[in-house]
Amino acid sequence: MPALNVEFSDRELEDLRQIAKERGTSMKALVREAAAADIARHRALQEGAEAFRRFFASHADEFAAAFPEDEPHLRGRGRVA
C-alpha cells in the first residue's frame, strides 16, 4: 500500500499521541481516519455542488423569472452606480 510521510511539530505530535491514547487507537489509525473523513467530506461537497448545478440549470427559466435583476444581460441597466 502506498504511504505518505507527514511532518508534525513537536506540539502536534504530542497532541496526536494524547488523542490516540484517549481513543485507544494508534497515531497512524487516528491520522488515517482524519484523512479519510476529510476525503469523504470533500467528495460529498463536490457531489452536492454538482447536484445544485444540475438543479439550477434545469430550473434556469424559473430563477430568471423570479430574479430578473440578477440576469447577466440586465445587470447594470437602469441602475445608478
Instruction: Give 8-65 pLDDT, tens digit per residue.
Output: 999 999 999 999 999 999 999 999 999 999 999 999 999 999 999 999 999 999 999 9
CA distance 25 to 33: 11
**Cβ partners under 8 Å of residue 75, min gap 6:** 69
Residue 52 C-alpha cell reads as 445544485
pTM over 0.75: no
